[in-house]
Amino acid sequence: MHILPGMFVRHPTEDHLGLGRVQTVLGNKITVNFENVGKIVINGNIVKLVVVEPNDGR
């Protein structure tokens, strides 16, 4: 599945970041606004974000 702006995601290994919403996708650079830490740019070639529903219960 391709990551697109507006999708809700979680980092696969860093649960403390919380729920994130994808802001932009430029090639392999994905900017995500996480609820607990703010905006982070993630390399999509290294980190495979997990797409979730915004009310996934975590």
Q: How far apart are CA 58 and CA 25, in angstroms?
A: 25
Distances 45 to 29, 30, 42, 55, 58 between C-alpha atoms, Å: 8, 10, 9, 27, 25
* 3-state class (DSSP) for residue 15: helix
Hunting for tokens 């982070």 — which residue is that? 40
DSSP 16: G
The per-residue pLDDT for 52 is 95
pLDDT tens, position by position, 1-58: 699 999 999 999 999 999 999 999 999 999 999 999 999 999 999 999 999 987 765 5
The per-residue pLDDT for 56 is 61
* 3-state class (DSSP) for residue 42: strand
The per-residue pLDDT for 57 is 55
